[in-house]
Amino acid sequence: MLNRAIRFYAGAVAFAFGAAMVSSASMAAATLSASVGGVPVGAGVYESFDSLATTGGLSARGIAVTFSGTGAGTATLPHVPGRYVAPFISSGNGASFGNPQANGLDQTQYLTTGIGQVTLQLDKYHQYFGLLWGSVDDYNTLSFYDGTTLLFNFTGLDVDSMANGNQGAAGTHYVNINSDTPFNRVVASSTRYGFEFDNVALAVNPPDPMSISPVPEPETYAMLLAGLAMVGGMARRRAT
């Protein structure tokens, strides 16, 4: 009986702590802001992908880029109608990325998902990510991962309520994303042609994810205390 009671108490404690872990994991949240002619906010690492091979590989800033699907890869002008078109540079927002061109279609190399995806494996964990998102469509998706675990994602509709593939200045937004949970992999995907982007920005000194401890929600504390109280109560009854 004593061993069975001990196993029960251990199970109750494990349940309480397990509930805390599940609740903490569900707290991942992120915010997105986007504007035409916008710029990176709080960034220090600027990647233009201009030196990236057409087959992918390691970018100048240490981002490992891979392509999958139909038509995914790097692209330069001229664009291909119905397949991809360069993002639109406006208000000089290419300058931080070594592109001081006047307003107009991006004249440097950029990335396109085609009908597929572009995966950016970051060399460190980050909580900020910026990109120049061109001709935003509602079938474009940007997903953030910790390894293979999906944390959150955004679609073109989160960037632009119209998201109708406008290829002019009004269709390209600089997008800034901040997360309360560190991520080390970003996947741009599209179910149709295409998702074009360039000029990715990251924080210069990302936080160490090992130093970030999720704070349990109030209900998690309540469940933990209830479990411990139950264990204590049953232990007292057994003792008598």
Q: Provide the domain count of the chain.
A: 1
The mean predicted confidence, pLDDT, of the chain is 84
CATH number of 110's domain: 2.60.120
Which segments within the chain are labelled E, that is strand?
A: 30-35, 45-47, 57-58, 64-70, 73-75, 88-89, 104-105, 110-112, 115-134, 140-146, 149-155, 173-190, 196-202
Return the percentage of the chain with pLDDT > 90, whole number. 72
Higher-confidence position of 21 and 94: 94
Q: Is the pLDDT of residue 23 over 60?
A: no
* Listed residue (199, 180, 66, 173) closest to 128, CA to CA: 180
pLDDT digits (tens, 9 = 90+) for 195-215: 999 999 999 887 776 655 444
The answer as to whether 148 is a domain residue is yes
Q: What is the pTM of this model?
A: 0.78
How far apart (Å, rounded) are the C-alpha atoms in residues 26 and 231? 26
pLDDT band per the 50, 70, 90 thresholds, residue 17 = very low
The answer as to whether 234 is a domain residue is no
pLDDT digits (tens, 9 = 90+) for 162-194: 999 999 999 999 999 999 999 999 999 999 999
The answer as to whether 41 is a domain residue is yes
The answer as to whether 45 is a domain residue is yes
The answer as to whether 229 is a domain residue is no
pLDDT band per the 50, 70, 90 thresholds, residue 8 = very low
Higher-confidence position of 25 and 116: 116
The answer as to whether 51 is a domain residue is yes
The answer as to whether 223 is a domain residue is no
The answer as to whether 217 is a domain residue is no
How far apart (Å, rounded) are the C-alpha atoms in residues 15 and 18? 5
pLDDT digits (tens, 9 = 90+) for 47-94: 999 999 999 999 999 999 999 999 999 999 889 999 999 999 999 999
